[in-house]
Protein backbone atom coordinates (compact mmCIF):
# COMPACT_ATOMS: atom_id res chain seq x y z
CA UNK A 1 0.00 0.00 0.00
CA UNK A 2 1.28 3.45 -0.91
CA UNK A 3 -0.06 6.68 0.56
CA UNK A 4 0.00 10.20 -0.79
CA UNK A 5 -1.49 13.66 -0.55
CA UNK A 6 -1.29 17.19 -1.80
CA UNK A 7 0.82 19.78 0.05
CA UNK A 8 -1.94 20.83 2.47
CA UNK A 9 -3.37 17.33 2.96
CA UNK A 10 -6.88 18.12 1.68
CA UNK A 11 -6.55 15.51 -1.11
CA UNK A 12 -5.37 12.16 0.26
CA UNK A 13 -5.13 8.91 -1.64
CA UNK A 14 -3.90 5.32 -1.46
CA UNK A 15 -2.53 3.00 -4.12
CA UNK A 16 -2.69 -0.76 -3.72
CA UNK A 17 -0.02 -2.87 -5.37
CA UNK A 18 3.20 -1.77 -6.98
CA UNK A 19 3.80 1.62 -8.52
CA UNK A 20 4.79 1.76 -12.17
CA UNK A 21 8.09 2.94 -13.59
CA UNK A 22 8.88 6.59 -13.16
CA UNK A 23 8.92 9.04 -16.03
CA UNK A 24 9.69 12.72 -16.40
CA UNK A 25 7.58 14.73 -18.84
CA UNK A 26 9.19 17.86 -20.29
CA UNK A 27 6.27 18.99 -22.50
CA UNK A 28 5.29 22.65 -22.35
CA UNK A 29 1.93 21.86 -20.67
CA UNK A 30 3.51 19.83 -17.86
CA UNK A 31 6.20 22.46 -17.34
CA UNK A 32 3.57 25.19 -17.00
CA UNK A 33 1.38 23.01 -14.80
CA UNK A 34 4.14 22.13 -12.34
CA UNK A 35 6.60 24.97 -12.76
CA UNK A 36 9.27 22.60 -14.09
CA UNK A 37 8.74 18.95 -15.17
CA UNK A 38 6.14 16.36 -14.22
CA UNK A 39 7.69 13.33 -12.50
CA UNK A 40 5.08 10.59 -12.32
CA UNK A 41 4.24 6.93 -12.05
CA UNK A 42 1.35 5.17 -13.78
CA UNK A 43 -0.97 2.86 -11.84
CA UNK A 44 -4.13 0.99 -12.78
CA UNK A 45 -7.23 3.09 -12.09
CA UNK A 46 -8.56 0.26 -9.94
CA UNK A 47 -5.49 0.54 -7.67
CA UNK A 48 -6.17 4.19 -6.77
CA UNK A 49 -8.48 5.19 -3.93
CA UNK A 50 -9.02 8.91 -3.29
CA UNK A 51 -10.16 9.53 0.28
CA UNK A 52 -12.09 12.78 -0.22
CA UNK A 53 -12.71 14.20 -3.69
CA UNK A 54 -14.34 17.43 -2.48
CA UNK A 55 -11.10 19.47 -2.79
CA UNK A 56 -9.87 17.65 -5.92
CA UNK A 57 -10.45 19.73 -9.05
CA UNK A 58 -9.94 18.77 -12.67
CA UNK A 59 -8.68 20.85 -15.57
CA UNK A 60 -9.15 19.42 -19.06
CA UNK A 61 -5.93 20.56 -20.75
CA UNK A 62 -6.63 18.91 -24.13
CA UNK A 63 -9.09 16.66 -25.92
CA UNK A 64 -7.21 13.66 -24.54
CA UNK A 65 -6.21 14.58 -20.98
CA UNK A 66 -7.42 16.12 -17.75
CA UNK A 67 -5.20 17.11 -14.84
CA UNK A 68 -6.15 16.80 -11.17
CA UNK A 69 -5.04 19.31 -8.57
CA UNK A 70 -5.90 20.46 -5.07
CA UNK A 71 -8.31 23.41 -4.99
CA UNK A 72 -6.74 24.65 -1.74
CA UNK A 73 -2.95 24.46 -2.16
CA UNK A 74 -2.77 24.00 -5.95
CA UNK A 75 -0.64 20.84 -5.89
CA UNK A 76 -0.44 19.07 -9.27
CA UNK A 77 -1.45 15.49 -8.46
CA UNK A 78 -3.00 13.43 -11.27
CA UNK A 79 -2.62 13.17 -15.06
CA UNK A 80 -5.67 11.35 -16.39
CA UNK A 81 -6.39 10.28 -19.99
CA UNK A 82 -10.01 11.07 -20.94
CA UNK A 83 -10.53 7.80 -22.88
CA UNK A 84 -10.66 5.58 -19.81
CA UNK A 85 -11.68 2.47 -21.78
CA UNK A 86 -8.52 2.70 -23.88
CA UNK A 87 -6.24 3.89 -21.06
CA UNK A 88 -6.96 2.00 -17.87
CA UNK A 89 -4.25 3.85 -15.95
CA UNK A 90 -3.80 7.17 -14.22
CA UNK A 91 -0.50 8.95 -13.54
CA UNK A 92 0.33 10.22 -10.06
CA UNK A 93 2.91 12.90 -9.27
CA UNK A 94 5.81 11.17 -7.54
CA UNK A 95 6.29 14.14 -5.21
CA UNK A 96 2.82 13.55 -3.74
CA UNK A 97 3.65 10.00 -2.62
CA UNK A 98 5.05 9.22 0.81
CA UNK A 99 8.56 7.73 0.66
CA UNK A 100 9.83 5.17 0.17
CA UNK A 101 8.19 4.64 -3.22
CA UNK A 102 10.66 2.17 -4.70
CA UNK A 103 10.23 3.96 -8.06
CA UNK A 104 13.16 4.72 -10.35
CA UNK A 105 12.94 7.12 -13.29
CA UNK A 106 13.14 5.02 -16.45
CA UNK A 107 12.45 7.59 -19.16
CA UNK A 108 12.19 11.23 -20.11
CA UNK A 109 9.43 12.14 -22.57
CA UNK A 110 8.81 15.16 -24.81
CA UNK A 111 12.43 16.23 -24.46
CA UNK A 112 12.16 18.40 -27.60
CA UNK A 113 9.92 20.71 -25.53
CA UNK A 114 12.20 20.91 -22.49
CA UNK A 115 13.12 24.28 -21.06
CA UNK A 116 16.32 25.95 -22.20
CA UNK A 117 17.40 26.50 -18.60
CA UNK A 118 18.45 22.90 -17.83
CA UNK A 119 20.12 19.83 -19.30
CA UNK A 120 19.14 16.17 -18.92
CA UNK A 121 22.30 14.43 -17.78
CA UNK A 122 21.16 11.39 -15.80
CA UNK A 123 21.74 8.86 -18.62
CA UNK A 124 18.11 7.68 -18.60
CA UNK A 125 16.41 6.93 -21.94
CA UNK A 126 15.01 10.02 -23.67
CA UNK A 127 12.09 10.30 -26.10
CA UNK A 128 11.83 13.47 -28.17
CA UNK A 129 8.03 13.20 -28.47
Cis peptide upstream of residue 24 (ω within 30 degrees of 0): no
Domains contained in the chain, CATH given: 2-126 (2.170.150.70)
Q: What is the pLDDT of residue 38?
A: 98
Q: Helix/strand/coil (H, E, C) string of 78-128?
A: EEEECCCCCCCEEEEEHHHECCCCCCCEEEEECHHHCCCCCCCCCCCEECC
| pLDDT on residue 46 | 96
d(CA 128, CA 108) in angstroms, rounded, equals 8
Confidence (pTM): 0.94
pLDDT by 10-residue block (mean), the chain, 129 residues: 98 97 97 97 97 96 97 98 89 97 98 97 97
Amino acid sequence: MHHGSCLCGAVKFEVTGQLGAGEMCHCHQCRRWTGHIYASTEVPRTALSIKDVSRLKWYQSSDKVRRGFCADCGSSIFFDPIDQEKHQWIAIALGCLTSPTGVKIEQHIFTLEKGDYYEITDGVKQHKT
